[in-house]
Amino acid sequence: MNHSGNTPEKTRNIMFSPDIDPACHSDPGAWPATPRRTNTLSRVSHQVADVERVARAGHLGAVVWLTGLSGSGKSTLAMNLERKLFGAGFMVYVLDGDNLRHGLNSDLGFSPQSRRENTRRVGEAAALFADAGFVCIAASISPYAMDRDTARSTAKGRPFFELYLKADIETCEHRDPKGLYRLARSGQLRDFTGIDAPYDVPKAPDIVVDTVDQTLESCVEHCFEFLSCRLRTTR
Ligand SMILES: Nc1ncnc2c1ncn2[C@@H]1O[C@H](COP(=O)(O)OP(=O)(O)O)[C@@H](O)[C@H]1O
Ligand SMILES: [Mg+2]
């Protein structure tokens, strides 16, 4: 168990499982798995209004999207920020990419198509949490800029903040909290972001969180202050 609570063995099992990546092993363009029948679907209205949720919570629902290389500090920051926001009275919940790969995204691997679908699902789930009035911290590599933009649109005008966890690949590799860089460098793990899979550095993130030069405490404090003053509706 490391600082962020990751369990390396579980992560490795997922990475090595040969048959969990439908995009690699069957039809690469097969999402959604069944066609949408939008012509026969309708929406049902909630009886609880947004303003009621906000009034009860004392803050807006929002998506806080943490993106960065593996080892940049997404999970660590997410969990510490969740702790801090919760302590300050926020309804807050972390959707951690690795955790979701044990459930919601357990059928996905690491091909480009799977990564896109992974990000899409995290975005949809985060938007639901924001709808419910939560500050949802989504921690996911989410390597493609266009998918992060889609996640922002999925939040449908609710506050959405893209936080770029800036750490160079050398630092991430040196940290290697899950031992994955070592595996990638030795050829035992393919399609690893930053090594043999791409990462689009955010062009205009809402915050750049420098996890190389700033301590964890100062990163948490900076993000907390940023969010707190933008989301609180009561003083
Ligand atoms: N300022 C910082 N913010 C976040 N993590 C940091 C920071 N400085 C060092 N670290 C360390 O970097 C590692 C990041 O690991 P992790 O949070 O699992 O990354 P990720 O979820 O992005 O893969 C942890 O061991 C953490 O203690
Ligand atoms: Mg993580």
DSSP string, 143-186: --HHHHHHHHHHTTTS-EEEEEEE--HHHHHHH-TTSHHHHHHT
Query: Which pTM does this prediction carry?
Result: 0.87
Ligand number, closest to the Cα atom of 212: 1
CA of residue 40 to ligand 2 center, whole Å? 39
Which residues sit with Cβ closer than 5 angstroms to ligand 2, an ion? 74-75
Measure the CA–CA gap between 189 and 182, rounded to whole angstroms.
9
Q: By the 8 A CB rule, do 23 and 107 touch?
A: no
Measure the CA–CA gap between 107 and 19, rounded to whole angstroms.
9
Average pLDDT, consecutive stretches of 10 residues, N- to C-terminus, the chain (235 residues): 39 35 41 67 96 98 98 98 98 98 97 97 98 98 98 97 98 98 97 97 98 98 98 91
Paired residues of 164 in beta bridges: 67, 208
CA of residue 97 to ligand 2 center, whole Å? 7
Rg of the chain (C-alpha set): 18
Q: What is the pLDDT of residue 32?
A: 57
Q: What is the pLDDT of residue 157?
A: 94
Q: What is the pLDDT of residue 31?
A: 56
Catalytic residue among 72, 75, 111, 142: 142
Residues flanking ligand 1, CB < 6 Å: 2-4, 6, 68, 70-77, 139, 175, 177, 211, 214-216, 219
Residues counted in the chain: 235
CA of residue 106 to ligand 1 center, whole Å? 24
Q: 17 an active-site residue? A: no
Dihedral angle computed from the Cα positions of residues 100, 106, 108 and 109, in that order, rounded to the nearest 10 degrees: 90
Measure the CA–CA gap between 209 and 226, rounded to whole angstroms.
12
